């Protein structure tokens, strides 16, 4: 474990050094992500600007929800997104061989080798949206609410990672995962615009249990505003544990079945 942390520190140091050598590599993603963030806000205003409430959530709660989804996505873009999405290409080209032959956990290296500090400002933007939503709600927040919120942010960031990893691991068994990533993008876009509390019946089952993007921002928002029950908290923890187990198991199985593209 100690060696892994030391390796990660060196990996991040080299990554930052490389990015600052090519300044556009830092500022380019920031400009793109900032533009996307503004489009999200405009879409939010167009959808919810004239809606009084959604199943009890008013404008303030929806703002916290959107800010929370954006915050988790910003963590994703900053820490592991660009590493995880490279998995299919590494499998198809045989580049994965280089990772499997090194004395370092290959998934650990792939996950963190392409951190993107250009997305860090989006974290600040997201916090501003959440703060504005809190102001609109106008309620008093306890340390329990805040700590529970941060805990669920951490868990949902892991869940986001699990889903990305699961989908890319299909590249071990199929030629292309493009159709699966299209499903992923569609589900994320839908669950960014519609809070999980609006789903019911089969839709709730799909977006809470099968493609659990519906809980990624919903559960943290619920605990923040004091609406999440103990049962809901247990459900969220269970979903994260299940999908983490599935993602790691699928990765190990795929590596076991992997045949080098150069063989």
b/e for 217-231, b at 16 or more Cβ within 10 A?
bbbbbbbbbeebeee
Percent of the chain with pLDDT over 70: 79
Query: In the prediction, which pLDDT does 90 show?
Result: 93
Q: Mean pLDDT, to the nearest integer, of 12-17?
A: 60
Would the pLDDT of 45 be above 70?
A: no
CA 78 vs CA 64, 120, 195, 235, 255: distances in Å = 21, 6, 24, 27, 26
Q: What is the pLDDT of residues 166-207, one digit of tens each?
A: 999 999 998 889 999 999 999 998 898 889 999 999 999 999
- Per-residue pLDDT reduced to its tens digit, 208-219: 999 999 999 999
Where residue 228 falls (left for φ over 0; alpha for ψ -120 to 50; beta otherwise) is: beta
Residue 224 to residues 23, 144, 243, Cα–Cα distance (Å): 38, 9, 24
Kindly tell me if the per-residue pLDDT of 130 is higher than 60: yes
The full set of domain ranges for the chain reads 2-257
């Amino acid at each position: 474990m100690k060696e892994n942390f030391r390796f990660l520190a060196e990996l991040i140091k080299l990554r930052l050094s490389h990015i600052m050598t090519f300044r556009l590599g830092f500022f380019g993603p920031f400009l793109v992500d900032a533009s996307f963030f503004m489009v999200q806000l405009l879409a939010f205003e167009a959808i919810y600007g004239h809606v009084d409430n959604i199943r009890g959530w008013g404008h303030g709660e929806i703002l916290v929800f959107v800010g929370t989804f954006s915050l988790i996505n910003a963590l994703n873009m900053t820490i592991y997104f660009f590493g995880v999405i490279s998995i299919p290409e590494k499998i198809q080209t045989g580049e994965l061989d280089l990772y499997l032959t090194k004395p370092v956990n290959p998934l650990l290296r792939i996950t963190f080798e392409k951190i993107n500090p250009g997305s860090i400002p989006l974290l600040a933007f997201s916090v501003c949206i959440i703060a504005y939503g809190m102001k609109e709600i106008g309620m008093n927040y306890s340390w329990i609410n805040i700590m529970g919120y941060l805990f669920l942010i951490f868990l949902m960031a892991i869940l986001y990672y699990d889903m990305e990893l699961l989908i890319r691991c299909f590249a071990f068994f199929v030629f292309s995962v493009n159709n699966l990533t299209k499903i992923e993008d569609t589900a994320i876009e839908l669950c960014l615009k519609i809070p999980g509390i609006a789903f019911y019946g089969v839709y709730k089952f799909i977006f809470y249990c099968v493609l659990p993007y519906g809980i990624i921002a919903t559960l943290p928002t619920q605990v923040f505003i004091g609406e999440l029950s103990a049962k809901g908290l247990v459900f969220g923890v269970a979903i994260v544990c299940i999908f983490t187990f599935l993602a790691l198991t699928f990765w190990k199985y795929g590596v076991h079945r992997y045949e080098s593209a150069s063989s």
